[in-house]
Amino acid sequence: MHEPAKLLSPVRVGELELPNRMVMAPMTRSRAGENDVPSSLAVEYYRQRATAGLIITEGSQISAQGKGNPRTPGIFTDAQVEGWRKVTEAVHEEGGHIFLQLWHVGRVSHSLVQVDGTLPVAPSAIRPDGEIFTAEGLKEFEIPRALGLEEILGVVANYRRGAENAKRAGFDGVEIHGANGYLIDQFLRDGTNTRTDAYGGSVENRARFLKEVVEAVIPVFGAARTGVRLSPIFSNYSMSDSDPATTFGYAAEMLGRYGLAYLHVMQGGGEGSFDFTALKRQFGGTYIANSGYDAERAEAAIEAGDADLVSFGVPFLANPDLVERFRIGAALNQPDFTTLYEGEERGYTDYPVLVNVAA
């Protein structure tokens, strides 16, 4: 196709003027160092991809309780803040913009991962289907412990502290991870939230946790530097909802009242139809579409007004210079799926760029 002019055009997102509408999607890579501190490899990984209009980092747990997968970076200790500071400095030196994704996995964890072997937490004591990798190998998920009312306030406070730490580390903003079957998503959907208190039952109650997290985080960076990610049809970890159009429509309208930088929506990951254009209208602000886009589909979505920006996961993983490759129509590197979640530089920082390919 010809140069995707719309996709490569500048755009204002909140308080930021971005050079293009290509967002690097958050992707767990399991490369963090000791004590879940971002490694020197992470510095290079993100620096290489700084031509993206906006980088959204891999999910970073807001507390030890929020951890699921091995070697995922955190944002709750001073050492983690310093590790991330090196990343933000590298991206900014290249002229890029970067948000940190605030993450709590909820029930998608295991007692072998949790501090002192405690059970993972969730809105309700419902076990997800599937297995998780632990220090002792693959283990079936456990029945989580339902959070007590007083504990929920503490988790909300951890989101705020995560945002404060992200600001200390030099990030341009934060994205609240409300997608992919993790804690906020677990509260939102009635398949995982069977509470009978103020956080369960009606859609308003199920969205209360998201609302409180957003209101806790906004004062740190301001609404214009705070985004939220949702995934209405994501079905891994046995996620479900009896009426996703109503649940996520309510969430989008609620979020639209805050003047957020953007709503970032994973439009795949499950079966069934869903009207994402309606979700964009219900939110009413800047909308980032994600899932399975290439340059042509992304250009068409922006041209049609179905998205303001498009985020790319695997294409950015395998192509540090994805923006330039899209600009000139160059072939893309193919990803090595065997190194997605393990290893060091191989499959992480060693993908060739066009100059190297030409050489």
Q: Residue 209: CB partners within 8 Å, gap ≥ 6?
A: 123, 152, 156, 183, 184, 187, 188, 199
**Dihedral class, residue 272 (left if φ above 0, else alpha if ψ from -120 to 50, else beta):** left
Positive or negative: CA dihedral 201, 206, 211, 213: positive
Is 45 among the residues known to form the active site?
Answer: no
Q: Which residue has the tokens 């609240």?
A: 176
Q: Residue 69: CB partners within 8 Å, gap ≥ 6?
A: 28, 30, 105, 132, 133, 341
What is the distance between the alpha carbons of residues 348 and 345, in angstroms, rounded to a whole number? Answer: 5
The β-bridge partners of 103 are 61
Q: Where are the alpha helices (DSSP H) in the chain?
A: 40-48, 78-93, 149-168, 183-188, 203-206, 208-221, 244-256, 276-283, 295-304, 314-318, 322-328, 354-358
What is the distance between the alpha carbons of residues 11 and 21, in angstroms, rounded to a whole number? Answer: 7
The β-bridge partners of 101 are 59, 175
What is the distance between the alpha carbons of residues 35 and 91, in angstroms, rounded to a whole number? Answer: 23
Give one DSSP letter per residue of 27-80, joined into a string: -------GGGPPPHHHHHHHHHTTTSSEEEEEEEESSGGG--STT--BSSSHHH
Residue of 45, 46, 159, 182 with catalytic role: 182
Looking at the annotation, which residues are catalytic?
182
